[in-house]
Amino acid sequence: MAVIGNPRSFHKKWKFVIEADDVGHTGFQKCSELSVEVANVQYFEGGSLIPNKSPGRLTFADVTLERGATQDRDLFDWFQDVAITSSGLGLTDVNYKRNLDIVQQDRDGTTLRRWSLSRAWPVKFVAGDWDNEADENVIEQVTLTYDFFELVQ
């Protein structure tokens, strides 16, 4: 039986770039998934057995970025800005919340998809673990929270 339509080619997940405001080095080895959930609000009117359902609040999952540790301090400095702000001594949220894009690329570097995260800021920084018997590089991680994301293009 003949296939009707065009065959689909799927995007590869290994080629991506992170573009963030005021973060110098944005090459990352790994980025966790983007996900959002909509709450299911149920209302039983007048003792009805069948609920009226409607969408509720959105919940966005945090994103974790991983890269090999280098001399670059941009991620830690960003986290430190947030830590100082939370102590009441530092910046207003306009100065530590940044927009960031996750750009999926094809083999030749052309953009396939661009996901835009609005008003992101780090909630966790991990400097990596050290092991005398390991052959791997030290990996630092930063976990970001954000207001919302959208698919741009």
**What local confidence, expressed as pLDDT, does residue 89 receive?**
66
**What local confidence, expressed as pLDDT, does residue 95 receive?**
72
**32: domain range?**
16-43+51-152
Q: pLDDT digit string (tens) for 21-52?
A: 877 666 788 889 999 999 999 999 988 999 99
Average pLDDT over residues 104-109: 86
Domain membership flag for residue 69: yes
Phi, psi of 147 (to 5 degrees): -80, -50
How far is the C-alpha of 141 from the C-alpha of 128, rounded, in Å? 7
Domain membership flag for residue 9: no
Domain membership flag for residue 30: yes
Lowest average pLDDT, out of 5-9, 73-77, 138-142, goes to 5-9
Domains in the chain: how many in total? 1
User: What is the rounded average pLDDT for all residues in the chain?
Assistant: 85
**What local confidence, expressed as pLDDT, does residue 55 receive?**
96
**What CATH number is attached to the domain comprising 83?**
2.30.110.20
Please check the confidence at residue 116 and state whether its pLDDT lies above 80: yes
DSSP string, 46-110: GG-SS-EEEEEEEEEPPEEEEEE--S--HHHHHHHHHHHHHTTSS--HHHH-EEEEEEEE-TTS-
Q: pLDDT digit string (tens) for 51-74?
A: 999 999 999 999 999 888 777 788
Domain membership flag for residue 7: no
Q: pLDDT digit string (tens) for 141-153?
A: 889 999 999 999 7
Domain membership flag for residue 75: yes
Please check the confidence at residue 13 and state whether its pLDDT lies above 70: no
Instruction: Please name every residue paired with 40 in a beta bridge, in sequence order, or none if there are none.
Output: 55
pTM: 0.78
23-55 burial, b if ≥16 CB within 10 A, otherwise e?
beebebeebeeeeeeeeeeeeeeeeeeeeeeee
Domain membership flag for residue 3: no
